[in-house]
Chains A and B, each alone.
Chain A
Amino acid sequence: MQIGIFTVGDVTTDPTTGRTPTENERIKATVTIAKKAEEVGLDVFATGEHHNPPFVASNPTATLAYIGAQTERIILSTATTLITTTDPVLIAEDYAKVQHLLDGRVDLMMGRGNTGPVYPWFGKDIRDGIPLAIENYALLRRLWREDVVSWKGTYRTPLQGYTSTPRPLDGIAPFVWHGSIRSPEIAEQAAYYGDGFFHNHIFWPISHTRQMVDQYRRRFEHYGHGPADTAIVGLGGQFFMRKNSQAAVKEFRPYFDNAPVYGHGPSLEDFMQQTPLTVGSPQQVLERTLGFRDHAGHYQRQLFLLDHAGLPLKTVLEQLDLLGEILPEMRKGFAQGRPPHIPDAPTHATLVAAAGGGKDATVYVAADDVTGHRAEEQLGQVQA
């Protein structure tokens, strides 16, 4: 079981002080938070991707590589990589590069992005969100798995004899999760490929998460990847804890009431009842989190969103310390009653092992370093 955190990189005013961090502060804070996540023993840090204010989460690969250079063990991932508006050719290159730099300590979560105006900035249309996710990901898979790709689709320029470089580390593509809150087509996509499915599991009732996860599990089995209970499931989650629950509620309420997504809507109490948000003592957070299994089955990855709604860095780091304190109990709880046939989330090492070992996948082309011309072409020119 992997336990970690994810960030969406929002720059939000702290409602208790009225102060808004600068982009620089927020970017540096993201790195501090990721390093702290490793320090307290977490397994995964994932960053979102946004191309509009109030977010600083553009260029996720630079962020991940920079964090990767300062950490040893933690898996770096995305939450999410925009498979709709980002050219799959660039995703293939960027994440293969990060894979090499971090010795395979990276995976990705695909998402579509829900902000209409962002799409046209990248020459796309949000109404094509699902077809874009389907076409772009199908291409991305080929770019990682086939050395030379000729391809033609609807949404980008065709490719003829194209080789994406660098080739994936050890010839093994990074593991991919597909994230979606409410689109059954994305659960279907994850199931079809036998990839992981992640439900953000923050804003909506758990009954809805269950419906999406069930669908993914059923279809995973249908497509022959194994029994439904062996499908690779990830869930989000959200908590705020203090040693006693009254203190947690008192401190978190102004952040909740003014939060960009659900602020000025339902009460904290209603939202806690209706969604997985837990504001309370470490024991309450522990129990609620372990209860997710009752709805989603035994799963592989649990990521919490901690740095949002304008919470100051100091508070976020304290939350990480508290999470670190209950982490052994949480791991023990997740292991309890877990049948031995339930797999862990794939990592680079397990994927390499499953493929019968790694191999260098470098594609060597005998061509001029400067012009890219091949020797035989030059020969042809001379003869002509």
Chain B
Amino acid sequence: MTAIVVVSAGLGVPSSTRLLADRLAATTAETIVDVDVVNVELRDVAHELTDHLLTGFPSPTLAVALDAVRRADGLIVVTPVFSASYSGLFKTFFDVLEAGTLDGTPVLVAATGGTARHSLVLEHALRPLFSYLHAVVVPTGVFAATEDFGTTGLDARIARAVGELAALLGTSVSAAVGHPGRRTVHDEFAAPTPFELLLQQVGAT
């Protein structure tokens, strides 16, 4: 059994951050064989996180969330972009994690924002944070701007990121999903994508 914890820091109900987290969680459940996906919603422990900063110990509810992260084989972390970075709530959760908790843990980073112009937040904010925490960050990060929720590209990026997470975890991948890696020129020469599929991918019928 592979344990994956999805940490999401959205504030609205429902939030686009949670929507993205749920899509990542669903794809993970479909892709990785024998997986247990648990969601940790930081809004629910927002008060407890502040208390932890002040008292130095977690409330029982927060202790459950921290313990889930400590035991996880891999993490999927999703934050809204606030003022050009991850949100304070998101950062606080990782501030109170015991040092060493994420050593060597594969982490898939994801974020949501109003526009795609924020997408590099994954590279200049999340990736350095998790590098500092000695996690192994999945090469593909997933950023969803508002308009991405109306297009099909997001699914492909989610599938690819989850595929990379599975590879880092060394877990078996569901045969039905297959390994969603990028096709190279060599792949095309070896086995051309049938033209009907190319037509289908552009939405032509």
Which residues of A are in contact with B by a Cβ distance under 8 Å?
203-205, 208, 261-266, 270-271, 274
28 residue pairs of the A-B complex, CB under 8 angstroms, read A203-B55, A203-B56, A203-B57, A204-B55, A204-B56, A204-B57, A205-B57, A208-B57, A261-B55, A262-B54, A262-B55, A263-B54, A264-B54, A265-B50, A265-B51, A265-B53, A265-B54, A265-B55, A266-B51, A266-B54, A266-B55, A266-B59, A270-B51, A270-B59, A271-B55, A274-B57, A274-B59, A274-B60
Nearest CB of A to B111, in Å: 29
Q: What range describes how many residues of B lie at the interface?
A: under 10
Beyond known contacts A203-B57, A262-B55, A274-B57: 13 more, CB 8 A cutoff: A204-B56, A204-B57, A205-B57, A208-B57, A263-B54, A264-B54, A265-B50, A265-B51, A265-B54, A266-B51, A266-B55, A274-B59, A274-B60
Nearest CB of B to A272, in Å: 13
How many angstroms between the C-alpha atoms of A314 and B56 in the bound complex? 31
Find the residue from B53, B55, B60 having the highest chain A CB count within 10 A.
Answer: B55
Nearest CB of A to B63, in Å: 9
A residues near B57, Cβ cutoff 8 Å: 203-205, 208, 274
How many angstroms between the C-alpha atoms of A274 and B54 in the bound complex? 14
**From B50, which residue of chain A is reached at the shortest CB distance?**
A265
Nearest CB of A to B58, in Å: 9
**From B56, which residue of chain A is reached at the shortest CB distance?**
A203
Nearest CB of A to B120, in Å: 35
How many angstroms between the C-alpha atoms of A204 and B54 in the bound complex? 12
How many angstroms between the C-alpha atoms of A205 and B50 in the bound complex? 17
Nearest CB of B to A111, in Å: 16
Nearest CB of A to B48, in Å: 8
**From B63, which residue of chain A is reached at the shortest CB distance?**
A205
Q: Which residues 134-183 of B sit at the A interface, judged by CB distance below 8 A?
A: none
Fill in one digit per residue for B87-116: 1 if any A CB lies within 8 Å of its CB, else 0. 000000000000000000000000000000
Find the residue from B56, B57, B60 having the highest chain A CB count within 10 A.
Answer: B57
B residues near A204, Cβ cutoff 8 Å: 55-57
A residues near B60, Cβ cutoff 8 Å: 274
A residues near B56, Cβ cutoff 8 Å: 203-204
How many angstroms between the C-alpha atoms of A204 and B56 in the bound complex? 8
A residues near B55, Cβ cutoff 8 Å: 203-204, 261-262, 265-266, 271
